[in-house]
Chain A
Amino acid sequence: MALANRARKANAAPEKPSLVRELVEIADYIAHLRTEIAALRANELTRDRLPMAHEELGCVVAATAGATNTIMNAAEEILGLPDDRNYRPAVEARMNDIFEACTFQDITGQRITKVVDALRQLESRLSRFAAAVKARDEGGIDPEEVERRVRNELLILNGPQVNGPATAQDEIDAMFA
């Protein structure tokens, strides 16, 4: 910025050489770029927001796995209970374990909301930065992404569909009838 100002003062005359004018423009662009990079707050993202998202998602995975295990254990224990007069209280005790395990959903919901907020913030800062510097994607595709796509295509790996199964079980059954 200081360099650009000095250049402007030194070449205030309208007949200033084109080389100096171009240098002033480049200096202005660099100053603009520095402002936009600062607005990106990249250090804050990599130091705080992204590690937080990583940690929160790790907690979600651990909580869901823990709850699933508790529920599976209770169900297996119920299946193995002897059919005697203690059956009902024993079932009730395990049902309470299941209810308690299901409370994970409330906490994981809050954790996921934090991650979604962080991603939204990242998206908005990146969009603003890309628009400000008129960024264009490099041609071609990342080689790792190419490899992933080829594997998925060859092995027909589509993954779960967003709104439930793409083909209903009844339709599949008809294909095997």
Chain B
Amino acid sequence: MALDLGMPILVVDDYQTMVRIIRNLLKQLGFEEVDDASDGTAALARLKNRKYGLVISDWNMEPMTGYELLRHVRADEALRTTPFIMVTAESKTENVIAAKKAGVNNYIVKPFNAATLKSKIEAVCGA
């Protein structure tokens, strides 16, 4: 299945430079519809208002972390099937296992490169 380059993607990170980096990488991959939010709470508000084809989220944010956002998304009937990739510096095995148990579709540790992001998006969204 080919990637839907028109699908809206939500990038969640409290570090604006990281949002900018991911936005640029996504643009290079052909994705133009990219929104962002600075934490889980802001992301949930956006998710209620627009249907996203993918959420790319950091873990460590205030007040709501990416892990809490993931659990909220998976507990919400309308959002539970939204593909979710965690992009984070939280690299301990316990983090990866917890995220997987909570229903994350893939997991990228920072720092990462364009090829890794591309392969995970393809794995999660089909290609």
Contact = CB atoms under 8 A, between A and B. Distances in A.
Interface string A12-34: 00000000000000000000000
A167 B24 contact: no
Contact of A176 (B20, B90, B100): B100
Interface residues of B, number: 30
A172 B17 contact: no
B50 interface: no
Contacts of B108: 169, 172
Contact of B91 (A76, A161, A175): A161
A115 to B, nearest CB: 22
Contacts of B107: 172, 175-176
A169 to B, nearest CB: 6
Contacts of B96: 167, 172, 175
B92 interface: yes
Bin the interface of chain A by size: 20 to 34
Given A156-B67, A156-B95, A79 B90 contact: no
Given A68-B17, A72-B17, A176-B107, A166 B68 contact: no
Interface of B: 17, 20-21, 24, 28, 59-60, 65, 67-68, 89-98, 100, 105-110, 112, 116, 123
